[in-house]
Chains A and B, each alone.
Chain A
Amino acid sequence: MKKRFLLLIPLFFLILTGCSYRELNDLAIASSLGIDYEDNNYTITAEVLNFNKKDEGDVTGGSILYYGTGKTIAEAIRNIYYKYPRLLHLGHLRLIILGKNTIEQKTDEIFDYFLRSPEAANDPYVLVNNKGTAKEIINPDNKSNDTFNAKELISNLESNELRQGTVTTINFEEFLSIYLREGIDPVIPTIHYDKEKDNVYSTTILTGMTAFKNNALLTPLSIDESKAYNILQNKFEDIMIVTDFKNSKLSALLLFPNSSYSVKIKDKITVTIDLAFEGHISEIQKKVDLLDPNILNEIKENLTETIENKIRKLLQYCKKYNVDILGLKDQIYRHYPKEYEKYKKQNIYEIATFKINTNLTLDRHGSTYIGSTKGGSYDKN
């Protein structure tokens, strides 16, 4: 009995061993992928990490660009093999750049391909060129081969999200889930290539975000609106807010975001937005005594108003374009399923009343100006 079982083991090897055995050096690791759709053809631009070993242990950085065209995405990717021998490995994909045409016309097809592919990573960041093709981002002057650096672009994207708040990243899976859900519209970071400037590298720039509704890219969000979106999604780590305070400038850092918003229906729709942060005054140009609680309150009110203004701007944007990027309808659908049909077609931002409560704790104000009224160099001025 035991021996018979032993005979089975090599049989298992023969039967169960799949074709997924691949040596590392047979793979071309794609770190970013540009997908364009023009004239009924897909064009794939793949940025593949270059790891040719030159000398002992010295790994050259940089990347190689692979191109393929075809009637379908699958064909286009397969057609890369006409020119390049190695297998395109999408498991470590970190960035997908979509051209304007692609996202407006072929989003469903892209989702279909990536969901079917067993290997492709499902969490690459999605970027969209709202003014042209993906190829012109990856290879702007059509000849340079290794200027594009996905790694740098990604860290730029991430630091913009965490430190500036002007971008809120969305990865492929999140994009897909928001796209497929009813009552919520995705917001995608945009990038574009500035043809006017000479320096190729610096001209591919992150520009902000744009909402995507009914397979169309809308007007991009302004910087304030982008920040407001980031604040509401709690994505930032620390962002800077600059306001006017007593005819001079004041800048404060917002930390530890803990915001939420909820929809309540009682005859009317009420949306309560609760914002909570910790504030840190990083620069104050007016000489004031920060130990005075009244002054602190003044600063707090000032900052609160600035933040709430940004939020209101975002709500205005939503109202203007009738786009539900905050997913209010989605909340209605989940909490008030019976009412959903009624509000489905309406512009929710027109009929709802918005209440914004901001809870800003201003503990960290520094100590520079405490003694300013009693002496020191500030007294002389």
Chain B
Amino acid sequence: MFEQIDDNIKKIQNDYKNSADISFKHFYIHERKLVFVYNQSLSSSTAINNFILKNLSLLIENKKQFPENLFQFLENTFPSHNLKEVTTWQECYDYLGYGFTILFLDQSTKAIAIETKENLARAISEPMTEQTISGPKDAFNENYLTNIGLIRRRIRSNHLIVSEHIVGKQTKTKVSVLYMNNIAEEQLVKEVEKKIAAINIDGILDSTYIREIIIKNNTVFPSIETTERPDLASMCLLEGRVLVLVENSPYALIIPTFFIDLFHASEDNYQNAKNVSFTRIIRYIAFILAVLTPAFYIAITTFNHETIPVDLFVSFAAQRAGVPFPAIVEALGMTLVFEILRESDIRMPHLSGSAISILGAVVLGDAAVSAGIVSSIMVIVIAISAISSLMFSHIGMTNAIRVWRIFFMIFATFFGVFGIFLCGVLLLVKLSEMKSFGKPYLYPVAPFQWEFFKENIFKRNIKKVTKRMPILTDKNETRSRL
């Protein structure tokens, strides 16, 4: 930095190209010039007024004599919990970007950065995508420290480690890896940290960026799950999983994620184990229905006629009479229309959402059938499949189901029930080949572990779950002694 304060100011003005939100405030103490530089959009004017300007005015008023080393004096005098000495321009701009106020003093090659950050995040609100009836109702928001705080508030142990990385050449985003150092596997933590440290990108705007980058092979089934619930995140930490929190992102990444986790909902942790087991069975049925219903309908109506009871056969045939398209075209068309409806429903502002529902119900449900373009049984088939896929709160799962549903439909069109079987084998091969950070995706089914199979496929009473899954932890397996 320059000795002359005016040079410093000029450089900042030049570097920011006179940006409107960079403010300069000039002061004089005994003819020594002070300049405060801050970013109006990131800094809190209240903090600047109350803690810096007010204190400075008081100092000037009350004190007649200032020590020779004014810089040292000011650094010691300002009442701030976060006060840094700045020596390079890079540091200076970083702190400005974080909402600090930089204090320049003439005849000094150093500056002081004082934290005057404005809280720009929204308040802690209810989770939007993972709603539950019982259980805590707070959710992560865009404030990074709030998010860490929400977890810290739940796990007070000093074993909860937050290891921070700065990722993104332009955005300088804070990315932290959270884990319990007395539970989580060191190997896993190291690998996650290594992968995050290796990221070289201009900007990270959300945690999904990190997910995309650190996943090895990009498959349709999500191998890293996200959550916006601090309670679920804390539970994962206690199981020995690793969490990645990203600044400005309300979603935490859970590493590793198994296939079976996609069938679990946050609600499951707060309900009676037996009821949850029943719900989970329904979820498995829903998964099968979502993936297979259209394919199975195509297979039995075009190849394996003998599998349908005769009365149903007549009813199916009567529904299809007069429909001009083959079953697969009908099914793909309906699926396409449904996906368009779903997409537009998500994108539309809530105010005009009801228009879409009416259009969908009238155009798809009724008019298309009466016009003879599709058979009513096909509307039912696609609707069952669609509703079943919407049962999963993880958007990644819903999307994966959509892809495989179409695969199954194509196989069924060419080979009938045999094709469904063939595609089922492909799906199974795909799933069992997948790994989430080196952990087998189909755990605890393959490799099979009866104790955790019972707990994950169904749900066991919390009293009976005394061990952590050994695949996630190698040092602290006991969870409770009841």
Contacts and interface: CB of A to CB of B under 8 A. Distances in A.
Interface of A: 13, 16-17, 20-25, 27, 29, 31, 49, 51-53, 56-57, 59, 89, 91-92, 94, 119, 121
Given A13-B414, A53-B321, A53-B322, A23 B315 contact: no
A121 B318 CA distance: 21
24 contacts: A17-B414, A20-B303, A20-B416, A21-B302, A21-B303, A22-B305, A23-B302, A23-B320, A23-B327, A24-B302, A25-B317, A25-B321, A25-B322, A27-B305, A27-B317, A29-B310, A29-B314, A31-B310, A51-B317, A52-B321, A53-B318, A56-B370, A91-B306, A92-B305
Contact of A16 (B306, B310, B414): B414
A51 B316 CA distance: 9
Contacts of B149: none
Contacts of A31: 310
Interface in B294-340: 301-303, 305-306, 310, 313-323, 326-327
A92 B370 contact: no
B376 interface: yes
B323 A94 contact: no
User: Is chain B's interface secondary structure helix, strand, loop, or mixed overall?
Assistant: helix
Contacts of A52: 318, 321
Contact of B305 (A16, A59, A91, A94): A91
B286 to A, nearest CB: 27
Contacts of A24: 301-302, 305, 313, 316-317, 320
B415 interface: yes
Given A23-B301, A91-B305, A29 B317 contact: yes
Interface of B: 301-303, 305-306, 310, 313-323, 326-327, 370, 376, 413-416
Contacts of B415: 16-17
Nearest to B372: A53
A344 B221 CA distance: 69
Contacts of B321: 25, 51-53
Nearest to B315: A59
A121 B306 CA distance: 8
7 closest residue pairs by CB, A with B:
A51-B318, A59-B318, A91-B306, A25-B320, A24-B317, A92-B310, A24-B301
Contacts of B320: 23-25
Contacts of B370: 56
Contacts of A16: 414-415
Which of A25, A52, A59 has the most B CB atoms < 10 Å from its CB?
A25
Contacts of B376: 57
Contacts of A17: 414-415
Given A16-B415, A24-B320, A92 B306 contact: yes
A76 to B, nearest CB: 22
Contacts of B319: 53
A92 B305 CA distance: 8
Contacts of B416: 20
Contacts of B305: 22, 24, 27, 89, 91-92
